[in-house]
Structure 1
Amino acid sequence: MKKAVAAKTSSAKETGAASASKLIDGRIKELADWRGQMLARIRALIKQADPDVVEEWKWRGVPVWEHDGIICTGETYKEVVKLTFAKGAALDDPSGLFNSSLDGNVRRAIDIREGEKIDEKALKALIRAAVELNASKAKKKPAKRSG
């Protein structure tokens, strides 16, 4: 009986991830300008940096990338595409990518404006560091006991 429940949960998660990916595809198409192109490029870099990333759609329309917790979100505004790292303040940023939300204790963001280039190598390193941080926090949580 427990196996059937686990299988159902797994397929529900896969269905959710698939629909989130479709919603993100839709957002990229809907933007139909440099912001959509940039969001698509960022998405591809995230997937290259972490092939096991899970895409989510939260807060009424925000693309979210997760692996053992939120890595980052990809918000689009009129003037910028904002990549917000949930635990950015805890990450080393030797390339100085973070240029927004610098005053908080937890999050950090990268605002990308039209025509700006992304340091792809540095961004992928930042994504991998966020995944490692999430994984280290996940390992420290005590395992739930069943029964």
Structure 2
Amino acid sequence: MTEARNLAEMDNPARLIDARIAALDGWQGAVLARMRNWIRQADPGIVETVKWRKPSNAMLGVPVWEHAGLICTGETYRTTVKLTFARGAALPDPSGLFNASLEGGTRRAIDIRAGDAIDEDAFKALIRGAVALNLSRARG
């Protein structure tokens, strides 16, 4: 019974994301946890998933947030936490949070470095805008 429960826990996206955050040292874990919290606050209909599980990321995969389609992913690198919005190019960004992947025609990303301040209200507005965009495409 314990083995079956352990396997189920390893397939639970929320627990995998918890494990990913716990595995990060210092500022990166804190930033990813804060951004995850804001994503969930921005839209209660957000579903957490984990994709691209492989040995090189200790089978923890990449956190993904979805609502009527992919909203964004949360990846960590040596010097950044990167939140990539699947349809970011179609979203208004009056606060200028998008600072990476600007040359692409579809995606946009926010690279957060140690000590960077992110405007919570502007970030939540991006999440809500991405959800609205997905919902409009689902209806159309």
User: Is the structural similarity TM-score above 0.5?
Assistant: yes
Is the aligned partner of 1:101 residue 2:101?
yes
Post-superposition offset of 1:19: 0.3
Q: Which residue of 2 aligns with 1:19?
A: 12
The gaps in structure 1 that reach 5 residues or longer are 1-14, 141-147
Q: Which residue of 1 aligns with 2:48?
A: 55
Identity of aligned residues (%): 64
Post-superposition offset of 1:137: 0.4
Is the aligned partner of 1:28 residue 2:21?
yes
CA separation in 2, counterparts of 1:92 and 1:38? 23
CA separation in 1, counterparts of 2:97 and 2:119? 8
CA separation in 1, counterparts of 2:90 and 2:52? 24
CA separation in 2, counterparts of 1:59 and 1:122? 28
CA separation in 2, counterparts of 1:105 and 1:59? 23
Which amino acid letter does the alignment assign opposite residue 41 of structure 2? Q
Q: Which residue of 2 aligns with 1:90?
A: 90
Q: 1:45 aligns with which of 13, 38, 42?
A: 38
Post-superposition offset of 1:32: 2.8
SS in structure 2 of the partner of residue 51 of structure 1: coil
Which amino acid letter does the alignment assign opposite residue 109 of structure 2? A
CA separation in 2, counterparts of 1:104 and 1:25? 31
Post-superposition offset of 1:76: 0.4
Q: Which residue of 1 aligns with 2:3?
A: none
CA separation in 1, counterparts of 2:83 and 2:71? 10
Post-superposition offset of 1:52: 1.1
SS in structure 1 of the partner of residue 12 of structure 2: helix
Which amino acid letter does the alignment assign opposite residue 112 of structure 2? I
Larger Rg: 1
CA separation in 2, counterparts of 1:80 and 1:71? 19
TM-score by length of structure 1 reads 0.82
Query: Deviation string for 1:26-68 (max 9, x for gaps)?
Result: 0000003100000000000001101110000001211000000
Return structure 1 stretches of 4+ with deviation > 6 angstroms: none
Q: Which residue of 1 aligns with 2:136?
A: 136
